Chain A
Amino acid sequence: MKGKFALGIAQIDPRLGDVEANLAIYEQTVREAVGRGVDLLVFPELSLTGYFLKDMVSTVALTAEAPALGRLRELSRDVALVAGLVEETPEYRFYNSAILFDAGEIRHVHRKVYPPTYGLFDELRYLARGSRVEAFDSRFGRAAMLLCEDMWHGSTAYIAAMDGALSLLVPSASPIQGLVRGDVPENAAYWQRLNAVTAESYGMFVIHANRVGFEDGIGFWGGSEVVGPSGEVLARAAYYEPDMIVAEISLAAARRKRIAAPMLRDENLDLTINELTRIRGRELAGVVRTLRRQTMAALAESPADERGASGRAKKASPRKRSRTSAAKTAVTNAKGTKQGKTRKPAAKARAARRR
Chain B
Amino acid sequence: MIPDIPVATDPLRRVLVDFVANEVRKVGAERVVLGLSGGVDSGLAAFIAAEALGPQNVLGICMPYRTSSEESLSHAALVVEAIGIETMTVEITAQVDAYFAAFPDASQLRRGNKMARERMTILYDHSARWQALVLGTSNKTELLLGYGTLHGDMASALNPLGDLYKTQVWALAAAMGVPAPIVTKQPSADLWQGQTDEHELGFGYRDVDRLLYLMIDERYESAELEAAGFEKAFIDRVQSMVQGSQFKRRLPVIAKVSTRTIDRDFRYARDWGH
Residues of chain A whose beta carbon lies under 8 Å from any beta carbon of chain B: 15-18, 52-56, 176, 179-185, 213-217, 219, 239-241
Q: Is there an interface contact between A217 and B8, defined as CB atoms closer than 8 Å? A: no
Shortest distance from the beta carbon of B218 to any chain A beta carbon, whole Å: 11
Residues on A with C-beta less than 8 A from B26 are 15, 214
Assembled-state Cα–Cα distance A209/B18 (Å): 20
Q: Is B14 close to A, CB under 8 A? A: yes
Q: Is B185 close to A, CB under 8 A? A: no
Among the listed A54, A181, A182, A241, which residue makes an inter-chain contact with B269, where contact means beta carbons less than 8 Å apart? A54
**Chain B residue with minimal CB distance to A125?**
B267
**Chain B residue with minimal CB distance to A180?**
B6
Most buried by A among B5, B8, B270: B8
Residues on A with C-beta less than 8 A from B274 are 15-16
Given contacts A18-B273, A179-B12, A214-B23, are A55 and B267 in contact (CB under 8 A)?
yes
Assembled-state Cα–Cα distance A185/B15 (Å): 11
Assembled-state Cα–Cα distance A183/B272 (Å): 30
Among the listed B7, B12, B271, B273, which residue makes an inter-chain contact with A216, where contact means beta carbons less than 8 Å apart? B271
Top 5 A-B residue pairs of the complex, sorted by shortest distance between their CB atoms: A54-B267, A180-B6, A214-B22, A52-B269, A216-B269
Assembled-state Cα–Cα distance A55/B262 (Å): 12
Q: Is there an interface contact between A181 and B8, defined as CB atoms closer than 8 Å? A: yes
Interface size range of chain B in the complex: 20 to 34
Given contacts A17-B273, A181-B6, are A213 and B22 in contact (CB under 8 A)?
yes
Q: Is B10 close to A, CB under 8 A? A: yes
8 Å CB contacts to A: which residues of B35-61?
none
Among the listed A53, A56, A240, which residue makes an inter-chain contact with B18, where contact means beta carbons less than 8 Å apart? A240
Q: Is there an interface contact between B18 and A214, defined as CB atoms closer than 8 Å? A: yes
Residues on A with C-beta less than 8 A from B225 are none
Q: Is B266 close to A, CB under 8 A? A: yes
Among the listed A55, A213, A239, which residue makes an inter-chain contact with B266, where contact means beta carbons less than 8 Å apart? A55
Q: Is there an interface contact between B6 and A219, defined as CB atoms closer than 8 Å? A: no
Residues on A with C-beta less than 8 A from B271 are 16, 52, 214-216
Assembled-state Cα–Cα distance A176/B23 (Å): 16
Assembled-state Cα–Cα distance A183/B8 (Å): 7
Q: Is there an interface contact between A215 and B269, defined as CB atoms closer than 8 Å? A: yes
Shortest distance from the beta carbon of B19 to any chain A beta carbon, whole Å: 6
Q: Is there an interface contact between A217 and B18, defined as CB atoms closer than 8 Å? A: no
